[in-house]
Amino acid sequence: MKQVLSEEQQNIAFFNKCEGAILVEAAAGSGKTRILTERVRHLIMEKENKFFSVLCLTFTNKAADEMKERLENDIPKLKERVFIGNFHEFCLNNIIRSQRQVIGLQEMPHIFDETDKKKIIEEVLLMNDTLKNIYQFPNAKTPQEKAKKQQELISQCVDFISTAKRNLIIIPDEISSLEGWTKERVFLYKNYNYKLANQNAIDYDDILLYAYRILVERPRIAELYRDLYEYILVDEAQDLNYAQYQILRVICGDTHKNVMMVGDPKQAIYAFNGASPDFMQKDFISDFGAIKKEITKNYRSSTKVLELAQYIQPNGGIPNNYFEGIREIKSFEDEKSEAKWVIAKIKEWLNKGYYKEENKEVEIPIGIENIAVLSRTRYIFKDLITELENDEILKSKFYLRKGSEKFEPESVFMKIFDWGLRVIINPLDVLHFNQIYQMLKVEIPRKDNRLEHLLQLNNFDNYANLPKNQVDLLTKSWKELNENPTRLDMILNTLKEGLSHLKIQDEEKIIIHFDIQKFEELWTGFLMNTASNKQSLANFRYFLAVKSVDENKKGITLSTIHTVKGLEFEVVFLIGMNDDVLPFYKAKTLKEIAEEKNNAYVAVTRAKHCIYVTYPLSRIMWDKPKARQTSRFITGFKS
Amino acid sequence: MNILIDKVRVKNFRSLKDVEVNLQPITLLVGANNSGKTTFLQALNIALGVNKRQLTKDDLFINQNGETEQNEIIIDLRIIPINKKSERTEKFEKEWIGIFNTNAQTDESGSFFAFRTLITFKEISDKCETNYYFISNWENPNPQAGDTLTSSARRFILLYFLDAQRDLEQDSKLRGSYFGRLTVQLEKGYEKDKLDEITTLVKELNDKTIDGSKVLSHLKVELSKLNQTTNSTGEGVSLSPFPLKIRDLHKGMKVNFQDNGSDTFGMEYHGMGTRSWASILSFGAFIKWEAEENKNKEGYFPILALEEPEAHLHPNAQRTLYQQLKGIYGQKIVSTHSPYIVGQAELEEYLFFTKKEDAIIISAIENISDMKAHEQQAMSRFVVDSRGEILFSRLVVLAEGETEERFLNLLAQKYFENFYGLSINIIGCGGSNYKYFIKILQAANIPFLVFSDYDNNETRTKVNSQLTACGLDSNNCDELIDLGEDIENYLITAGYENELRQAANLFIPVWFSRENIRERERNRIEINEGLRNFLKTYKTKLAPIYGKILLELNDGRQFPPKILELFIKINTILNINI
């Protein structure tokens, strides 16, 4: 359905008949998605020339889905004219899938997640004497200390590799001449990539890197995309990173200027991921000659919400709002009383069921999906979650949003099932194949035919970590899956049925069933979102890789600010608003502090009508309660 | 037309085990009956056809042992951008860029779009599943399960299959025919007020027709009794000899055709040739209309797969076909048995179909672009234009000239039972044109024999060099039968001097009139004194005469040894038992 745009929004959305480069700096709630959606509609429906396509890159799937939903009914064959999706989806399913042969890939690569990455890094560390020596931490006093240090080292390696890839470092030979690249670093980077390639796998950062390589190595392909996508739109452009911006640059070349970037530098909170608003504010303007337009009016939030947001980040003043809204800033003795108050308040809203102001006719319904509790970090939710779990009414009505974290089963049983599934899809996958054998502590077969071995996994007598009858069940299910690769639903039923006959501890059983249920949900979501001829297991894995887990969850949202981007709620609680939390205690430099401020701004502007900011005066730190300060971002605030 | 299907690959479909061919804006499929031409068109129809039939396991390739080898049929197509001269260009035009979307690929020459149609049969049942994949590397295609075609190309590139059973008389009664599909839209062509005017006129015409007809008025009165039985409150029964609504006009539409001053007749009174050709023309009209309608809105690329356009048509009419076909919008792939059509086409436009053991071989004339212009011209003129029939032969004997052609044909008709049924062509091609014939016959996989005089060193060198140019070893050439001298001298050497003299004497009274007695005498003397010279002078005219004389011999000398050698070779090649 078509949405009405204000005159201000219209002038921006259809500026210069949609021709030329334009940067839209749009404040929170100013209708970014609406502007993008209506621009796409305008291009497709109003332009006389029908021979072009539109590329619309969003930051989250939620934004993409929302746009698709709003356009689908009016534009038949929307998919043929417009690509709407996030950057990774575009690079993976569009560029890499179609053009992978250019970089010598016969088959689609498989995507390894963070855990896989760490495993491979460990393998590489043990391959080189110097690295091995460092990794063993001979000076560690206790095994615990050693383990902790090893984990830290691996995390550093993960960061190092990620950063290199985000900086589009391609050719290994070039690396040695780069500053700061020691022999060991080169060894790590080369061999890590080599190990991935051997298993026909890539990591998440590779998605952008590979797409970039394709476009650079075969300029004709870049030209193909340039000709195809005559209009390009980028959402949340303040979070573009180097690789993403370079991909856009290669696609556009020097001639393609019809690019609209929409973003809000005040909401830039992904610097730790290599993102920077500079790409949109500086490079885009100088490279594309973009014209800058600002839209500051917040059409989303009520006056009370806006007043607070304005205090944190002055931005365009406060327009005349229909709703006055509700705002409370409260301190509590400790975290527990804070949590209890939040729960009581949530119940109050749920009992009432709607939001309405005196003398105003509009009544906004409020349910669990309209309420969010936000915080800077996840550990702040500890007490709240405990309280929620003990609450008879709310205990199954909330979820902790995980954002971009990928689904991973918790039970050993389903973990092994999942690894097996990956081997079925990709028999070259040594990593997960070996993980199965290591977990079960049985001898890893030397021969190459992994799939065959996997389907005979139950040939051993004894296993660690899992009883034999469960291994039997797993083997049986893999066999079935191998024969019916499009019937994961059926195989999951086989598992449930099989498990019901086995003796398993209650706690374990619950976790397994929870995992199976997760699989079922994800599979159903995949089927709903995928054309029937694409419903393969391999595509299911890609789906998991580019989709986040929480997409279809219902309930009160508990979320860190980073993963709540682009969403809006009627009622928002911003909890734990202490000075060591927001700004985060690690933030030291001015730039870091500025980004922390952005975080506070993002959090507050998620609220449409009611904002509650709470903080405890003391928090338990290492078993002892310690006094805490109020966040500097709100201390001086007076209504 | 700015795109072209330039390459097709078919695997495991009926008699096509594994073939790959190049296509042109118009391509002629040439070959004997049952050589796979229709199968090839059907393969294209599976990938792009507007009307498709259900496939069964019978459509899988079956080898010599009667077994199917694989459970899947593959049809790969490649589409390239072209310019007005039909040369490949670097980029697709706007309208195709969006349609091919990111499934488009690039190679060293520019963009292309290729896709695979994969039909997989289930192990047990006869059911099959059809999937489409994009192909990124034409030479080495390896589409994976996820590489599903996302391009909408198959909605805009449409193949229309016109089989040999077409008939405009039938078409005009069928809504689904191209004639029907075009006339159904007839309302579109009118201005609004014109439409109203015609509707009024038709109503008036209806009323007048009924009022003026005793039969219809009578019928109308009787039928109005229906109003009483059904208690109808509406207008009740009415008769309309002519359709009331303009959009229904197409239902009674007839095509009439007047030929050479005769009366105008409806199609049903015309011969099948006219009806068949009219059906093709109505298709052309439909395509042109659709293309015009889609202009600037969407891409549209029609492909006409046509079987034997020459069916039932007079040879002279067949000559005009090629140009008319060429004029139809879109790409054309035409199977034909007509030397007249073949004679008009360019060398690049042929695809030759031959059956070898269990599978079909499709071939084309190679390296045409490397040939010199005069060579290409010679090939077109001497071979396909004047001797197009050889492309439909099972075997061709290339003899020196007309003399040999006449003589050998006469003897062969006697030697081979059912000579014409064997599709053997014996032709004189002129000493310096062997190579053009041979190259085309080689391309078409048609066996041939060269029957040469080799009468002097010069000829010998000329023939040898031509054979070498065609990749044959002139010193040891199975295809070559050489007489060592010209045919007349050879026959004298072989002991047929009396027969030749007899022929010459028979010829004189035929050739020189009674009045010219002196001339007759002079020639008689010449025959006696210089038979060889006389033979040389009246070469071609004498050949049928001594040929007939030879055939009447009953002393076992009917077939001179070298000619017998030729016939035996033919037997061996065609595997005929005498």
Q: What are phi and psi of B436, to 5 degrees?
A: -65, -40
Tokens, residue A283: 């490079």
Give me the pLDDT at residue A1, please: 64
The pLDDT assigned to B291 comes to: 87
Whole-number average pLDDT of chain A: 87
Instruction: Give the count of beta carbons closer than 10 Å to the beta carbon of residue B554.
Output: 7
Q: What is the pLDDT of residue B537?
A: 82
Average pLDDT over residues B276-304: 85
Q: What is the pLDDT of residue A477?
A: 93
Name the pLDDT band for A553 (thresholds 50, 70, 90): low
Instruction: Output the pLDDT for position A98.
Output: 92
Min Cα distance B80 → chain A (Å) is 14
Q: How many residues does chain A have?
A: 639
Q: Alpha carbon of B145 to those of A45, A478, A537, B149, B340: distances in Å? A: 34, 19, 10, 11, 47
Peptide bond into A583 cis (omega under 30): yes
Give the single-character DSSP code of B344: H
Q: What is the rounded CA–CA span in Å between residue B497 and residue B491?
A: 7
Q: Is the pLDDT of residue A314 over 80?
A: yes
Q: How confident is the model at residue B38 (pLDDT cuts 50, 70, 90)?
A: very high
Ranked by mean pLDDT, the top range of A314-323, A358-367, A499-508, B10-19 is B10-19
Q: CB neighbours of A193 closer than 8 A, spacing ≥ 6? A: A172
Tens digit of each residue's pLDDT (9 = 90 or more) over B113-165: 999 999 999 877 778 889 999 999 999 998 988 899 988 899 899 999 988 77
Tell me which of B257 and A373 has the higher pLDDT.
A373
Identity of the residue numbered A164: A
Q: Give A639's pLDDT tier (boundaries 50, 70, 90).
A: low
Model-level ipTM above the cut of 0.85: no
State mean pLDDT over B491-506. Answer: 88
What distance, in Å, lies between the first and last C-alpha atoms of chain A? 39
Question: Tens digit of pLDDT for each residue in B202-248?
Answer: 888 888 888 888 888 888 888 877 777 666 666 677 788 888 777 77
Tell me the residues of A at the B interface, defined by beta carbons under 8 Å apart. 49-53, 77, 79-81, 94-95, 97-101, 106-108, 218, 220-221, 223-225, 227-228, 531, 533-534, 536, 538-539, 542
- Residue B80: list chain A partners with CB under 8 A: none
Of B91, B142, B146, the CB nearest to A227: B91
Report whether pLDDT(A238) > 90.
Answer: yes
CA of A215: how far to CAs of A161, A172, A265, B39, B106, in Å? 22, 19, 29, 41, 12
With contacts defined as CB-CB under 8 Å, which chain B residues touch A100?
136
Are the CB atoms for B153 and B300 separated by under 8 Å? no
CB-based contacts of B255, cutoff 8 Å, min separation 6: B168, B172, B179, B266, B267, B278
Contact of B220 with B237, CB cutoff 8 Å: yes
Chain A residue at shortest CA distance from B113: A98
Residue A530: pLDDT band (50, 70, 90) is confident
Which of A49, A224, A539 is facing B111, going by the closest CB pair? A224
Q: Which residue has the tokens 């009544």?
A: A363
Nearest residue of B to residue A227 by CA position? B97
pLDDT of residue B52: 77
pLDDT band at A173 (very low <50, low <70, confident <90, very high): low
> Cα(B148)–Cα(A339) distance, rounded to whole angstroms?
51
Question: Residue A596: which pLDDT band, with cuts at 50, 70 and 90?
Answer: very high
**Residues B426, B397: contact at Cβ < 8 Å?**
yes
- pLDDT at position A404, please? 54
Q: Tokens 């999942």 identify what position?
A: A418
Q: Would strands B3-13 and B72-81 be described as parallel, antiparallel, or unpaired? A: antiparallel
What's the whole-number mean pLDDT along residues B51-68?
Answer: 86
Residue B41, token pair as written in the block = 């068109």
| The pLDDT value given to residue A548 | 55
pLDDT of residue B432: 82
Question: What one-character DSSP code corresponds to residue B141?
Answer: -
Interface size between A and B, measured as CB pairs under 8 A? 71
Element at A306 (helix H, strand E): helix A303-312
Tell me the sheet residues that pair with B118. B74, B131
State pLDDT tens for residues A28-74. Answer: 888 888 899 999 999 998 888 788 899 999 988 778 888 998 898 88
Chain B partners within 8 Å of A539 (Cβ): 146
pLDDT tens digits for B525-546?
A: 666 667 888 888 888 888 999 9
Sequence-distant (6+) residues with CB within 8 A of B488 are B500, B532, B535, B536, B539
To the nearest 10 degrees (0 to 180), the angle between helices A506-529 and A412-425 is 30
Chain A contact probe: residue of B90, B97, B111, B151 with most A CBs at under 10 A: B97
What torsion, rounded to 10 degrees, do the Cα atoms B370, B372, B374, B378 define? Answer: -30
Residues of chain B with pLDDT > 90, as a percent, come to 33
**Separation in Å, CA A520 to CA A490, A523, A540:** 10, 5, 12
**What tokens does B302 get?**
């029609």
Closest Cβ opposite residue A94 in set B102, B145, B297: B102
**Residue B261, burial from CB neighbour count under 10 angstroms (0-12, 13-18, 19+):** exposed
| Structure token pair of residue A250 | 């290669």
Q: Are A326 and A609 in contact (CB under 8 A)?
A: yes
- Structure tokens belonging to residue A554: 């219902």
Rounded mean pLDDT, A236-248: 93
Nearest CA in chain B to A82: B98
Sequence-ordered alpha helix ranges (H) in B385-496: 386-387, 402-415, 434-443, 457-469, 487-493
Contact B145 A538 (CB under 8 A): yes
Residue A295 in tokens? 């839209």
CB atoms within 10 A of CB B425: 20
The answer to whether the Cβ–Cβ distance between A228 and B110 falls below 8 Å is no
CA distances, A43 to each of A21, A36, A280 (Å): 15, 11, 23
Residues 6+ apart with CB under 8 A from B148: A531, A533, A534, B131, B132, B133, B134
> At B112, which helix (H) or strand (E)?
strand B110-121
Looking at residue B258, its pLDDT comes to 75
Contact at CB, B102 and A98, closer than 8 angstroms? yes
Residues from chain B that touch A82, judged by Cβ atoms under 8 A, are none
* Banded pLDDT at A546 (limits 50, 70, 90): low
The pLDDT, as a whole number, for residue A406 is: 62
Cβ neighbours of B95 in A, within 8 Å: 51
Q: How confident is the model at residue B570 (pLDDT cuts 50, 70, 90)?
A: very high
Pairing mode, strands A363-365 and A354-356: antiparallel
Q: Are the beta carbons of A45 and A302 closer than 8 angstroms?
A: no
Q: Of A474-483, B147-156, B454-463, where does mean pLDDT reach its minimum?
A: B454-463
**Helices B315-327 and B272-294 sit at what angle, rounded to 10 degrees?**
10
Lowest mean pLDDT among A312-321, B185-194, B213-222: A312-321
Residues of B with CB under 8 A from a CB of A: 91, 94-95, 97-99, 101-106, 110-111, 131, 134, 136-137, 142, 144-148, 150, 152, 296-298
**C-alpha–C-alpha distance, residues A131 and A411, integer Å:** 33
Contact A36, A5 (CB under 8 A): no
* Angle, helices A430-440/A412-425, rounded to nearest 10 degrees: 150
DSSP assignment, residue B385? I
What's the confidence (pLDDT) of residue B299? 83
What integer pLDDT is reported at residue A299 of this predicted model? 79
CA nearest neighbour of A177 among A186, A168, A166: A186
| 3-state class percentages of chain B: helix first, strand second, coil last, to nearest 5 | 45, 20, 35
